């Protein structure tokens, strides 16, 4: 009897073009054709002009091209503020001769190109929802309750894209390129919520995106970038069609200091297991307070609030897990409750 088996590797990076550690994996016997996805934390500013993401993406595209492999999902999240360490998380899958035993499952998909004037609007929500369902099928996950994390790389607006849309007679959701990142992240997250049955698509109107934060997904992690015009989607969960030592669970931080929920999720996983990866979302609480105390993330004119949030939540999670190579992505619109966000924990059980 055969099943699918996943492996997860966390590799340090000295820069956006440093793929030497991944090359070493290949030299050590890892089959390049088994790589499904790469999640990266790069050391740019995480904003519109963070070209470290595109640099890293191109570096991996060149790497896979040298090995004759195409179609690997490469999702880069910019910003390693505080003590967050730049790194790559490599996800692989292969078919093995072993019965399924409920283990980590990985699925991936890409959506069609998103028309510029649909960004941040209901059409983006529905497009992403279809893409998430496709990735779930690819992962062999039938029950949305078995999904623990959905990572999406989504597009943003640039001045050129806005001009081209307006020249064609279309109206964009915003002419503020930085704001477009939040709208795209939010619409993509609501697409996850629709696909997983967390929110009814009939509840969502254009005006709700980026406004009605009572609508959210407990599993969505979305990151906007200039380096694409479609959506790359990676679904992580548990499935009985898979086998092997890896398992995943997730928590939803109610606010940026909610380490308790994260610890409880870790306790649900096998006690004698090695930490393989931590994937998280962070944002400055829009209320202006954390735990009843005022924060100044949203008042800083020099540094984007998402950069503050990555550093702050990164520090909280580093204190919980004792590592700094954490995938902490900033901007959690509709990704968990306001000021909070989902955190996925992947472990490798002892064999």
According to the annotation, is 283 in a ligand binding site? yes
Query: Among residues 180, 140, 122, which one has the least CA distance to residue 4?
Result: 140
According to the annotation, is 336 in a ligand binding site? yes
According to the annotation, is 332 in a ligand binding site? yes
According to the annotation, is 261 in a ligand binding site? no
- CB atoms < 10 A from the CB of 263, how many? 13
According to the annotation, is 223 in a ligand binding site? yes
According to the annotation, is 340 in a ligand binding site? yes
68-116 tens-digit pLDDT: 999 999 999 999 999 999 999 999 999 999 999 999 999 999 999 999 9
According to the annotation, is 29 in a ligand binding site? no
Per-domain residue ranges of the chain: 246-349
According to the annotation, is 310 in a ligand binding site? yes
Q: For the chain of 351 residues, list the mean pLDDT of each consecutive stretch of 10.
A: 96 97 97 97 91 94 96 94 97 95 97 98 98 98 97 96 97 96 97 98 97 97 93 97 97 98 97 96 95 95 93 98 97 96 96 71
Catalytic positions are 153, 223
Q: What is the structure's pLDDT at 1?
A: 84
CB 221 within 8 A of CB 251: no
Give me the DSSP letters along 154-210: EE---HHHHHHHHHTT---S-S-HHHHHHHHHHHHHHHHHHHTTSS-GGG--GGGTT
Contacts of 275 (CB under 8 A, 6+ apart): 321, 323, 345, 346, 347
233-266 tens-digit pLDDT: 999 999 999 999 999 999 999 999 999 999 999 9
Q: How far apart are CA 283 and CA 85, in angstroms?
A: 19
Tell me which CATH homologous superfamily contains domain 246-349.
Cyanuric acid hydrolase/Barbituras, RU C (3.30.1330.160)
Tell me whether strands 273-282 and 341-349 are parallel, antiparallel or unpaired.
antiparallel
Q: What is the structure's pLDDT at 350?
A: 83
Contacts of 181 (CB under 8 A, 6+ apart): 47, 48, 156, 224, 331
Q: What is the structure's pLDDT at 47?
A: 86
Element (H, E) at 225: strand 220-225
According to the annotation, is 224 in a ligand binding site? yes
- CB atoms < 10 A from the CB of 21, how many? 16
3-state secondary structure (DSSP) of residue 346: strand
According to the annotation, is 140 in a ligand binding site? no
Q: How far apart are CA 268 and CA 265, in angstroms?
A: 5
According to the annotation, is 53 in a ligand binding site? yes
CB 311 within 8 A of CB 258: no
Q: What is the structure's pLDDT at 169?
A: 97
Q: What is the structure's pLDDT at 285?
A: 95
Q: For 48, what's the count of Cα atoms within 13 Å in the CB-facing half-sphere?
A: 16
Sign for the CA dihedral angle at 48, 50, 53, 54 comes to positive
């Amino acid at each position: 009897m055969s099943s699918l088996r996943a492996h997860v590797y966390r590799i340090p990076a000295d820069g956006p073009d440093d793929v030497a550690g991944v090359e070493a994996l290949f030299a050590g016997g890892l089959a390049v054709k088994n790589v499904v996805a790469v999640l990266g934390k790069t050391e740019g500013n995480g904003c519109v002009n963070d070209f470290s993401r595109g640099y890293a993406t191109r570096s991996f595209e060149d790497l896979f091209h040298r090995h004759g492999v195409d179609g690997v999902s490469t999702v880069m999240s910019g910003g390693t503020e505080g003590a967050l360490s730049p790194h790559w998380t490599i996800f692989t899958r292969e078919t093995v001769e072993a019965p399924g035993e409920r283990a980590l499952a990985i699925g991936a998909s890409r959506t069609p190109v998103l028309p510029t004037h649909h960004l941040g609007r209901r059409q983006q929500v529905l497009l992403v929802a279809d893409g998430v369902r496709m990735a779930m099928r690819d992962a062999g996950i039938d029950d949305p309750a078995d999904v623990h994390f959905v990572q999406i790389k989504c597009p943003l607006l640039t001045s050129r894209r806005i001009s081209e849309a307006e020249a064609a007679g279309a109206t964009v959701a915003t002419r503020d390129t930085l704001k477009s990142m939040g709208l795209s992240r939010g619409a993509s997250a609501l697409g996850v919520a629709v696909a997983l049955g967390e929110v009814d698509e009939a509840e969502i109107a254009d005006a709700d995106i980026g406004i009605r934060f009572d609508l959210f997904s407990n599993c969505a992690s979305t990151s906007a970038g200039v380096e694409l015009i479609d959506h790359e989607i990676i679904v992580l969960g548990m499935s009985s069609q898979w086998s092997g030592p890896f398992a995943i669970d997730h928590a939803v931080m109610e606010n940026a200091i909610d380490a308790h929920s994260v610890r409880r999720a870790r306790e649900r996983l096998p006690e004698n297991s090695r930490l393989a990866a931590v994937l998280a979302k962070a944002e400055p609480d829009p209320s202006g307070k954390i735990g009843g105390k005022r924060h100044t993330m949203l008042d800083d004119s020099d540094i984007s609030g998402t950069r503050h949030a990555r550093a702050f939540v990164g520090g909280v999670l580093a204190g919980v897990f004792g590592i700094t190579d954490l995938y902490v992505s900033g901007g959690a619109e509709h990704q968990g409750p306001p000021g909070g966000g989902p955190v996925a924990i992947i472990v490798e059980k002892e064999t």
